[in-house]
Amino acid sequence: MRGLRISAGALGVALMAAGVWALLFGADAQDPWVVAKWLLGVLVVHDGLVVPLTLAVGFAVSRVPVRGVVRGTLLVAAALTAVAGPVLLRPGPVQNPTVLPLDYDRNWVLLVVLTAGVGVLAGLAVKWRRGDRSSGPGDE
Amino acid sequence: MKLPLPRFPLAPPSFRGRLHDARTATAIGRWLGVAVAVCFVTGLISHYLQQPGMLADVLPSRPRWGYRVTQGLHVASGITAIPLLLAKLWTVYPRLFVWPPVRSVRHALERVSVAVLVASALFELMSGLLNTAQWYPYAFSFVPVHFAVGWLLIGSVVLHVAVKAPEIRAHWRRRSAGTLALPAEDAVDRRSLLTAVGVAAGAVTVTTVGQSFTPLGGLDLLAPRQPDHGPQGLPINRTAALARVDATTVRDWRLRVDGPRPYELTLAGLRALPQREVTLPIACVEGWSKSAHWTGVRVRDLLDRAGAPPGALIRVTSLEARGGYRVMVMPHTYARDPLTLLALRLNGEVLSLDHGYPARIIAPNRPGVLQTKWVARMEVL
């Protein structure tokens, strides 16, 4: 097991080195400092902004009823929003009408509303099931 | 080796929230690992199909739908990985504030490798997603950087799995030793989190995958392309206007074929040659794809007429004035495939100017950018 781990670790380092090599000396190599700035930039924005915001929202809903469903609904809506980000926000004209041909604002609103609706139904179902259970086996 | 512990005026933040544990990280991490592995392998396939280098003679032209599937998977697995990555990073976030920040040289190296892992994963998924929407907010060229950082990412994933192997194993199953040592009351919340992450990954996938997996085209709500949107039932990337090709450019068009017995053909001459009909997809690097019916002359027949040797590389040049794909080199595996056409018609109609009128290449198992439009010349190299 130890040997396997060491070889896998060495393979990982070698693959990373291949990446650095490609960045510096590969075909059509780009300015490594600009790339490094972007790598650092996404790390800082994610760790300094995205996660703290997520944690704050998670804290805000930590005491609500059926919190699992509430958190799940928020999570699904956030994931759809993240993936929709580029098609919603892309600036500038598109190359031709077959690029971004859909009404993305409408589709995104539709999906978020749909997610919220499914969330409400799931929340009601969970509450109803719990209520059912807490009213006890004596009912049967 | 121990480093001295510095005194720091501010206490690191503490996390009382639950589920920042190794079982949650393992459960999400292995889904993420699968998505990243699929994304990396399919990305490599796409890279070498486009820039074969020494592999030119061995690239297979079959299966005809090969690139459609691999590139569709590349983009879909990248999109699926977005909620998985964000959830995984949320789970392990408290470790960013581990105290002391550095315990030993080994610990420092591990933390640097994790920083590379996180940065390269976020960067790859972000730049890939932006590329599908043709959005380039950075001052570098996308392809070489996305390729290089892909190696950085897969390397740091392999290293991370090697470093964390004992913890992963201890939390692999619900009844593994490490999992059982965690507070039992978290299990309900963990199950609901994992369910939500799975639903999120599914939701972003089914609302975008229709751009290549056409049976789900009706659910394609967020993808940058819709396979049915486009002239003659097919999307386009590079228009004739962008390529500076217009009615004047193509008026006296002739195809020139250079080889041991060079010749020229007018459009009428090409139409008089035996016509073949094939069904082949256009599959774009950006992830969308669509199958279509093409009619035209076999490239193999045109090359035989010029006396080309069977193993020759073929250079195809477009009428377009400039652009990275004006000149395309076709290995013999494609040029000799009976499905590879110099197409004159698309879905029963004469090619529109935006689809490459008067003649374009269509070959099986090849990226869309190499399906050269407005072909002016073919040369035996």
Which CATH number is B350's domain given?
Answer: 3.90.420.10
> Phi then psi for B239, rounded to 5 degrees?
-80, 165
A40/A69 same-domain check: no
Identify whether A125 is part of a domain.
yes
B158/B278 same-domain check: no
Cβ-Cβ contacts under 8 Å between A and B: the total is 230
Identify whether A20 is part of a domain.
no
With CB atoms and an 8 Å threshold, state whether A51 touches B17.
no
Question: Angle at Cα B326 formed by Cα B322 and Cα B330, nearest 5°?
Answer: 165
Q: What is the pTM of this model?
A: 0.95
With CB atoms and an 8 Å threshold, state whether B204 touches A90.
no
Identify whether B15 is part of a domain.
no
Identify whether B162 is part of a domain.
yes
Identify whether B2 is part of a domain.
no
- Chain B partners within 8 Å of A39 (Cβ): 119-120, 123, 149
A76/A91 same-domain check: yes
Tell me the nearest-neighbour CA distance from A138 into chain B, angstroms. Answer: 25
Q: What is the band of B172 on the pLDDT scale with cuts at 50, 70, 90? A: very high
Identify whether A40 is part of a domain.
yes
Among B198, B219, B240, where does a domain finish?
A: B219
Q: What is the band of B16 on the pLDDT scale with cuts at 50, 70, 90? A: confident
Identify whether B1 is part of a domain.
no
How do residues B62-85 score in pLDDT, each as one tens digit? 999 999 999 999 999 999 999 999
B187/B242 same-domain check: no
A104/A76 same-domain check: yes
Q: Which residue of A has its CA nearest to B156?
A: A12
B102/B199 same-domain check: yes
A51/A103 same-domain check: no
B319/B354 same-domain check: yes
A82/A124 same-domain check: yes
Among A43, A60, A77, where does a domain finish?
A: A60
- Chain A partners within 8 Å of B89 (Cβ): 46, 51
With CB atoms and an 8 Å threshold, state whether A47 touches B138.
no
With CB atoms and an 8 Å threshold, state whether A55 touches B90.
yes
A33/A87 same-domain check: no
Identify whether B236 is part of a domain.
yes
A34/A53 same-domain check: yes
From B90, B123, B201, residue closest to A51, measured CB to CB:
B90
ipTM score of complex: 0.94
pLDDT value of residue A140:
34
* Candidates B95, B114, B151, partner chain A, best to mutate (most A CBs within 10 A): B151
B256/B201 same-domain check: no
pLDDT value of residue B4:
55
Among B160, B195, B219, where does a domain finish?
A: B219
Identify whether A15 is part of a domain.
no
A71/A51 same-domain check: no
CA distance B357 to B227: 20
Q: Which residue of B has its CA nearest to A73?
A: B196
Q: Which residue of A has its CA nearest to B228?
A: A98
Q: Are B360 and B373 in contact (CB under 8 A)?
A: yes
Identify whether A16 is part of a domain.
no
B89/B199 same-domain check: yes
Q: What is the mean pLDDT of chain B?
A: 95
- Chain B partners within 8 Å of A19 (Cβ): 120, 148-153, 155
Tell me the nearest-neighbour CA distance from A116 into chain B, angstroms. Answer: 13
With CB atoms and an 8 Å threshold, state whether A80 touches B204.
yes
B118/B153 same-domain check: yes
CA distance A46 to B118: 9
What's the distance, CA B262 to chain centroid?
38
Identify whether A89 is part of a domain.
yes
Which range marks the domain in which residue A92 is found? 65-132
Tell me the nearest-neighbour CA distance from B291 into chain A, angstroms. Answer: 16
| Burial class of residue B309, CB neighbours in 10 A (0-12, 13-18, 19+) | exposed
Q: Are B347 and B328 in contact (CB under 8 A)?
A: no
Identify whether B87 is part of a domain.
yes
CA distance B321 to B344: 21
Among A40, A60, A80, where does a domain finish?
A: A60
How do residues A18-73 score in pLDDT, each as one tens digit? 999 999 999 999 999 999 999 999 999 999 999 999 999 999 999 999 999 999 99
Number of domains in chain B: 2
Q: Which residue of B has its CA nearest to A58?
A: B17
- Chain A partners within 8 Å of B203 (Cβ): 76, 79-80, 111, 115
Of the listed ranges A20-29, A75-84, B24-33, B47-56, the least confidently predicted one is: B47-56
Number of domains in chain A: 2
A50/A72 same-domain check: no
How do residues A83-124 score in pLDDT, each as one tens digit? 999 999 999 999 999 999 999 999 999 999 999 999 999 999
With CB atoms and an 8 Å threshold, state whether A82 touches B196.
no
CA distance A20 to B154: 12
Which range marks the domain in which residue B144 is found? 22-219
Angstrom CA distances, B250 to B240, B244, B245, B320, B374, stand at 11, 11, 7, 10, 8
Q: What is the band of B374 on the pLDDT scale with cuts at 50, 70, 90? A: very high
With CB atoms and an 8 Å threshold, state whether B129 touches A62.
no
How do residues B97-113 score in pLDDT, each as one tens digit? 998 999 999 999 999 99
Of the listed ranges A9-13, B26-30, B49-53, B88-92, the least confidently predicted one is: B49-53
The answer, for B41 touching chain A at a CB cutoff of 8 Å, is: no
Q: Determine how β-strand B314-318 pairs with β-strand B263-266.
A: unpaired
Identify whether B261 is part of a domain.
yes
B304/B348 same-domain check: yes
Distance, first Cα to last Cα, chain B: 62
What's the distance, CA B143 to chain centroid?
10
B270/B203 same-domain check: no
- Chain A partners within 8 Å of B134 (Cβ): 90, 94-95, 99
With CB atoms and an 8 Å threshold, state whether B152 touches A96.
no
B255/B192 same-domain check: no
A109/A51 same-domain check: no
Among B184, B219, B254, where does a domain finish?
A: B219
Q: Is pLDDT of B247 > 50?
A: yes
Identify whether A5 is part of a domain.
no
CA distance B371 to B236: 12
Identify whether B344 is part of a domain.
yes
Tell me the nearest-neighbour CA distance from B199 into chain A, angstroms. Answer: 7
CA distance B318 to B242: 13
Among A17, A41, A60, where does a domain finish?
A: A60
